[in-house]
């Protein structure tokens, strides 16, 4: 699953499980100190706290210093193409987490990796967070 160097993304197909332990192993192999994201949400909707918000993440070059990284398990369809594969449990967990973070950081923007800069050529998170969470 550790495909691209320098990219924290771990997009996986619907039948592929990618546990928080696998994610940690993958990011350690890439030379990160721990999981690059602050939060990881598995298909079952469980929110895994991966590193404290007070620590800088390692998930998107140029934006790590002032961002909180959230990743969900999945992101590829059966053909291996980027797709919004979030389960209902993941959607609920995301709304819960973002609602809390929105209260803590009212000025923060909610954006997908691909929405941060024109020079970021990533498909993830395979949906439009700016639009979906504009009401939070
Ligand atoms: Zn991403």
How far apart are the C-alpha atoms of 62 and 84, rounded to whole Å? 25
Going from the Cα of 75 to the center of ligand 1, the distance in angstroms, rounded, reads: 9
* Topology of the domain comprising 20-132: Lysozyme-like (3.40.80)
Give residue 74 CA to ligand 1 midpoint distance, Å.
Answer: 11
Confidence of residue 21 (pLDDT cuts 50, 70, 90): very high
| Whole-number Å distance between alpha carbons of 34 and 23 | 9
Q: For residue 60, how far is its CA from the centre of ligand 1 (angstroms)? A: 7
Which residues are bridge partners to 82 per DSSP? 76
Token digits for 73? 């398990």
Q: What is the pLDDT of residues 3-15, one digit of tens each?
A: 444 445 678 888 8
Q: How far is the CA of 113 from the centre of ligand 1 (A)?
A: 5
Reported as a single tens digit per residue, the pLDDT across 83-133 is 999 999 999 999 999 999 999 999 999 999 999 988 888 889 999 999 999
- Strand-pair category, 47-49 with 70-72: unpaired
Ligand 1 centre to CA of 88 (Å) is: 20
Phi-psi domain of 80 (left: phi exceeds 0; alpha: psi -120 through 50; beta: other): left
50-80 pLDDT per residue, tens: 999 999 999 888 899 999 999 999 999 999 8
- Tell me the pTM: 0.91
């Amino acid at each position: 699953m550790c495909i691209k160097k320098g990219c924290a993304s771990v997009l996986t197909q619907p039948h592929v499980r990618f546990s928080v332990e696998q994610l940690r192993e993958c990011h350690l192999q890439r030379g990160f100190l721990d999981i690059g994201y602050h939060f990881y949400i598995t298909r079952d909707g469980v929110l895994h706290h991966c590193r404290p918000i007070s620590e800088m993440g390692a998930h998107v070059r140029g934006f790590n210093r002032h961002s909180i990284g959230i990743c969900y398990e999945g992101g590829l369809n059966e053909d291996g193409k980027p797709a919004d594969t979030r389960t209902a449990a993941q959607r609920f967990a995301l709304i819960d987490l973002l609602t809390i973070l929105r209260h803590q950081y009212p000025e923060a923007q909610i954006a997908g990796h691909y929405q941060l800069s024109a020079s970021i050529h990533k498909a993830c998170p395979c949906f439009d967070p700016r639009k979906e969470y504009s009401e939070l």
